[in-house]
Chains A and B, each alone.
Chain A
């Protein structure tokens, strides 16, 4: 009962986010989710990437950003679920603070504003905005690191040495 009430409360708060914030993050999420449409490749590449601390931090920050915007948005984006589930695992969701960089004063202060505005003001958007400002640089650093990891491995697989080795095991051409 309490859980239902909380989830109702949460979805109400999410619904109050201004559309331009929702659509902006949704667009970013969709572009990122595109990368992980194939589950097999996602696991393969995310597995490699999360070994790096900066990438881990970025995935947790990205997950946090998407969760702050709303679970319903995440569900609609193909591929992003995989990223979020790994991010949530990394963050151990049960102890996951969605706004760790927002001071209690701002978080509670924004809730008090609800009393005076009759719930019209998107107060969670205030905390989300503060958190996103802190998280965007982390996401950028981590994704740049991820790009480095991918680029380095791409160079390895494209090298003549590896291509020649792979060719040794290529299936023999069919003869008539």
Chain B
């Protein structure tokens, strides 16, 4: 079971990697972590952890498709 301090550290990492959160608001959000309740930290942490999971799955499925599409465009250009 992670401690509150471990959760705070983890939340900061997840905030920095997020592409859903507004880049300009991230420093303020990180600044507010020490004042957040454990419940809020858990809620935001779970949301951002889900973002990580979704992004991982999305890239795994779609990055090869994007590469294939670029290859097709290259071959159109070659012909």
Contact = CB atoms under 8 A, between A and B. Distances in A.
A144 B19 CA distance: 19
A120 interface: no
Contacts of A76: none
Q: State the majority secondary structure of interface residues on A.
A: helix
Nearest to A51: B23
Given A153-B55, A161-B13, A162-B14, A169 B63 contact: no
Q: Which of A143, A156, A162, A171 has the most CB of B within 10 A?
A: A162
A168 B7 contact: yes
Contact of B45 (A151, A154, A156, A169): A169
A153 B49 contact: no
How many A residues are at the interface, by size bracket?
35 or more
A162 B13 contact: yes
Interface string A160-176: 01111111111100000
B14 to A, nearest CB: 5
A143 B59 contact: no
B55 A147 contact: no
Given A31-B72, A136-B73, A169 B59 contact: no
Contacts of B36: none
Q: Which of A136, A154, A169, A170 has the most CB of B within 10 A?
A: A169
A47 B51 CA distance: 14
B54 A168 contact: no
A129 B58 CA distance: 34
Contact of B52 (A24, A45, A157, A171): A157
B17 A156 contact: yes
Nearest to A170: B49
A48 B67 CA distance: 18
A24 B77 CA distance: 13
B76 A165 contact: no
B49 A147 contact: no
Contacts of A163: 52
13 contacts: A24-B76, A31-B65, A41-B58, A44-B54, A136-B73, A140-B77, A147-B63, A150-B59, A153-B55, A154-B63, A168-B10, A169-B42, A169-B46
Interface of A: 24, 28, 31-32, 34-35, 41, 44-45, 47-48, 136-137, 139-140, 143-144, 146-147, 150-151, 153-154, 156-158, 161-171
